[in-house]
Amino acid sequence: MSVQAVASWLLISAVESADRAWNDWTTSDIALLRCGGLFAAVRMSAGLVHAAAGSDEPKPVCGFLDEALHGGPVFTDQLSSRYYALVPPSAAQRPEWTDGRHEGAECLGIGSYLGVPSPTLDEEHGHRCYWCVPMMGPGNLCTADAVSQLVLYGRYRLAIGAAS
């Protein structure tokens, strides 16, 4: 993976000023990026993801997400207890994200902004916001179907009391 290529791709249409975003990544590790152009993001509660993974420990959760989402990019914000899976922008128009079927998850598309960690940050760095599953290359996103299945599986496990 080329971190530089991924960072450049994220910034292409996701910011007003690429220079400002680079500076934000350098100084605070997080840049505010616009959703809906190159990517959308599915915001999932930590409880939902932990239930699906059967653990709340970072390494097993990250391994589960990597496998369940076929290597698609996911980051977490520990402060807000949320996970974000990057998906194609068209995912925001899918009915499951607008009709209430996916309680505990929301798809952020056009009109949404998201604090995205620098592509260099992973769990090893000990930051509050980091990539559980790094983006493997420009445009490599999670499939909307895989994320939808993950959410439904997490909801199922919560319903039967199998949460970690």
What is the model's pTM? 0.93
pLDDT tens sequence across 100-143: 777 889 999 999 999 999 998 987 677 889 999 999 999 999 99
Strand boundaries in 24-80, DSSP class E? 30-34, 40-45, 74-77
pLDDT tens sequence across 44-100: 999 999 999 999 999 999 999 999 999 999 999 999 999 999 999 999 988 888 777
Bridge partners for 108 per DSSP: 41
